[in-house]
Amino acid sequence: MKRMSFRQADTLEYYLQGFNEIGKTQIYERTADAVLFYDCTRQRVIDILKNFSFDSVKVPESVFESSGREKSAMYRDRIITSVILHFGRRLFMPEPIMHGWTMVKTAGFVWRGLKTLKNKRLQVELLDGIAILACVLTEDYKTASGVMFLLGIGDSLEEWTHKRSVDDLARRMSLNTDTVWLLTDKGEVKKDADDIVCGDKVVVRMGDIIPFDGEVSVGEAMVNQASMTGESVPVHKYAGTNVFAGTVLEEGEIVVSVKETCGSGRFDKIVKMIEESEKLKSAMESRAQRLADKLVPYTLLASGLTYLLCRDVIKAVSVLMVDYSCALKMAMPVSVLSAVREASEHDITVKGGRFMEVVAQADTIVFDKTGTLTKAKPKVVKVVSFSSETEDELLRQAACLEEHFPHSMARAVVDAALERGLTHEELHTKVEYVVAHGIASNINGEKAVIGSYHFVFEDEKVIIPGGRKELFDSLPAEYSHLYFAKDGVLAACILIEDPMREETKSVVEQLKELGFEHVVMMTGDSMRTAAAIAAQAGIDEFYAEVLPEDKAAYVERAKEQGRCIVMVGDGINDSPALSAADVGIAISEGAQIARQIADITIGCGDLESLVILRKISTALMKRIGFNYRSIVGINTALIAMGIRGLITPSLSAVLHNGTTVALGLNSMTSLLSAASHDISVRKDVKV
């Protein structure tokens, strides 16, 4: 095969990313080549490639829908074509025809500038149009042509970077629901999302993302639609109302009759939402863009005064060729969007540039414990029976309840049942999830509850069976305890090992070195367990046995004290604090509502992502500051040289546009590499 189609390239990339041994991949559709980074033997990679065929790989339509491959190829071809045509015309087109072509192109730039006047503001497009027209009127066609070429390249680079960054962000924000609960005549059945068709009915519970566009057929709920409509307040949904894919069910439970499945334009909706959202702009970026437009009248005034004082059209045109706004409007957005894209390469999804600015400025970081500082996959160590039923039977019943809810402890119970081969039919009636406490339902006519000590013994008034108090008191304290009771009597205690992540202590130390003055841990677990984890992690300030509202209240109090707060969590119970913080960061495999509410999502595999995020954010702010100083310094010097007659309009245009493009290209380079270089330089200075 000499060349692959875009669809074939996406298919091959999707296939390769399905193997744990394969890391980063780069597919070149033009040459039908692939570059792979792998962690296995060479023979294993060869075997993987031998087993591949385009027809045998089933790729979700959403993968093709969200692919940016064709768009990147379009912009790359556009820029290459522009360069070839520009220099080709200079070499081979007769001069009179070249002049005519330049005048035709000039009319387009002038018209674009005049159209900005309807906004009742002088904008950079008007300045560009006047400068190009002045060159044509003074018969400096070469300069006019060069300016238009550089402006075109700059526009294409900015647009390409913007589209690529927005698409990457949207791709990571777009829905990724693997399984759903399908309602059938026999009850609820877990099904692959790809197998759902229009007309099917799926059950959505509190904390879940609604997987498809549809209509509520049963139930009532409060739905957070901020991701699609921008509404800040949850919307009441009931039978007959429409719901949107990607929105989050905050309270209640509903059955959704599916109207649209995957590949029905959801990705485009998210792209549109991002492009229209002010969240993409950091405060510094917004200030730079406002300043850019404000400087246009002063550039025009400087050009006019230069002509009046010097009576020299060439000097006046030299001033027109230089403006601050062009560089400000290109370099700043490109810097922010490139930073967002670079973060995504490290499994960090940032929903807007302003959040990176806050991360760079933050002095306090608050951690949830379970699933955040501790491992994302806790493990059931033992099931202690307090009834006549066997441990396996009790675990089977507990898993039957827990599999409906997205929490690391719930997953541990379900995984333990699977490992023991404990399958089940749905035994219970409707389940009720009590945030930060547990689950209540009925199993075979008996009321069943499972959850924390506070929920089971204090709220539900469960008692310990007679003669089992000594067994209860002897439960080992080094494990987390999940209590399961039926008809008001304790039936089992599930002991769960929830060890601290290996990297936690190192990450906490690095975050302190990077400027976080307060590192805090908050957990609903017991004081003894919390103290042990805090000591291992090197965290001095921690709070135990807290409820969701307690976490949010702490964040609010800290903000009132003037602190800038980052909150990191993974569960439904972390959602209030994630919303209250200046920046909320969710673990990617945590509850869906936490990921939806959070401003940033990091991969669950390693907390080092937090260190990387801080470094990228800090480097971004430094780059924006450097760009601002460079733009002001360079362009002021060019204007001064133009007024003194030291440079011609042609050279002025080349230097201005050249430095603008150079700053734009520099803004697309790796921030993390720059941050690492800065750190190494500082270390060398200390030595």
pLDDT at 681: 41
- Cβ neighbors of 278 (< 8 A, separation 6 or more) are 286, 352
Q: Residues 389-415: what's their mean pLDDT? A: 83
**Chain segment 179-198, per-residue pLDDT in tens:** 788 888 877 787 877 778 88
**Chain segment 144-172, per-residue pLDDT in tens:** 887 788 778 767 776 776 676 666 656 65
Residue 468: how many CB atoms within 10 A of its CB? 15
Task: Identify which has the larger pLDDT, 499 or 267.
Answer: 499
Sheet of 518-522: strand order equals 348-350, 600-602, 583-587, 565-569, 364-368, 518-522, 541-543
Task: Identify which has the larger pLDDT, 177 or 46.
Answer: 46
Could you tell me the maximum CA-CA distance found in the chain, to the nearest angstrom? 106
Of 26-40, 180-194, 380-394, 446-460, the poorest mean pLDDT is in 180-194
Q: Residues 223-237: what's their mean pLDDT? A: 68
Q: Residues 27-32: what's their mean pLDDT? A: 87
Say how many Å lie between the first and final Cα of the chain, rounded.
56
Of 5-19, 435-449, 571-585, the poorest mean pLDDT is in 435-449
Q: Residues 575-583: what's their mean pLDDT? A: 86
Count of positions (residues) in the chain: 687
Helical pair 608-644 and 649-666, crossing angle rounded to 10 deg: 180
Beta strands 348-350 and 248-260: pairing type?
unpaired
Q: Residues 103-130: what's their mean pLDDT? A: 83
User: Domain-by-domain residue ranges, the chain?
Assistant: 6-59, 74-169+277-336+616-686, 179-261, 348-374+500-604, 379-497
Residue 413 in contact with residue 425, Cβ under 8 Å?
no
Residue 274 has pLDDT above 60, yes or no: no
Could you give the angle at the alpha carbon of 268 between the alpha carbons of 267 and 272, nearest 5°? 120
pLDDT at 142: 81
Average pLDDT of the residues of the chain: 80
Residue 7 has pLDDT above 80, yes or no: yes
pLDDT band at residue 263 under the 50/70/90 scheme: very low
**Chain segment 583-605, per-residue pLDDT in tens:** 999 887 666 666 777 888 887 66
Q: Residues 329-342: what's their mean pLDDT? A: 77
Q: Which CATH superfamily is domain 348-374+500-604 in?
A: HAD superfamily/HAD-like (3.40.50.1000)
pLDDT band at residue 275 under the 50/70/90 scheme: low
pLDDT band at residue 507 under the 50/70/90 scheme: very high
Q: Which of 230-234, 417-421, 519-523 has the highest mean pLDDT?
A: 519-523
Place of tokens 């030299």: 318
- Cβ neighbors of 500 (< 8 A, separation 6 or more) are 373, 374, 375, 533, 536, 537
pLDDT at 170: 62
Residue 129 has pLDDT above 60, yes or no: yes
Task: Identify which has the larger pLDDT, 280 or 394.
Answer: 394
pLDDT at 506: 93
CATH of 379-497 given 2.30.30.140, 3.40.1110.10, 3.10.270.10, 3.40.50.2020: 3.40.1110.10
Residue 687 has pLDDT above 50, yes or no: no
Q: Which of 112-116, 388-392, 596-600 has the highest mean pLDDT?
A: 388-392
pLDDT at 136: 86
Residue 567 has pLDDT above 90, yes or no: yes
pLDDT band at residue 433 under the 50/70/90 scheme: low
DSSP annotation of 654: H
pLDDT at 31: 87
pLDDT band at residue 217 under the 50/70/90 scheme: very high
Q: How far is CA 671 from the centre of its chain?
A: 17
Spell out where 266-368 has E strands. 348-350, 364-368
DSSP string of 191-217, one letter each residue: EEGGG--TT-EEEEETTPBP-SEEEEE
Residue 227 has pLDDT above 60, yes or no: no
DSSP annotation of 465: P
CA distance 308 to 654: 25
pLDDT at 511: 94
Q: Residues 204-209: what's their mean pLDDT? A: 78
Fold of 179-261: 2.70.150
Output the six-digit token pair for 681: 């330089």
- Cβ neighbors of 466 (< 8 A, separation 6 or more) are none
CA distance 396 to 392: 6
pLDDT at 153: 77
- Cβ neighbors of 546 (< 8 A, separation 6 or more) are 522, 523, 524, 554
Residue 373 in contact with residue 577, Cβ under 8 Å?
no
pLDDT at 171: 63
Q: Is 645 left (phi over 0), alpha (psi -120 to 50) or beta?
A: left
Residue 371 has pLDDT above 90, yes or no: no
Name the phi and psi angles at 52, rounded to 5.
-90, 140
Residue 514 has pLDDT above 90, yes or no: yes
Sign of CA dihedral 414, 418, 421, 425: positive
Place of tokens 């991360």: 359
Output the six-digit token pair for 429: 């009636």
Residue 639 in contact with residue 306, Cβ under 8 Å?
no
Residue 521 has pLDDT above 90, yes or no: yes
Task: Identify which has the larger pLDDT, 436 or 111.
Answer: 111
Residue 608 in contact with residue 502, Cβ under 8 Å?
no
pLDDT at 685: 40
Q: Residues 325-331: what's their mean pLDDT? A: 69
**Chain segment 646-671, per-residue pLDDT in tens:** 877 667 777 877 787 788 778 878 88
Residue 139 has pLDDT above 90, yes or no: no
Task: Identify which has the larger pLDDT, 182 or 314.
Answer: 182
**Chain segment 602-617, per-residue pLDDT in tens:** 876 678 999 999 999 9
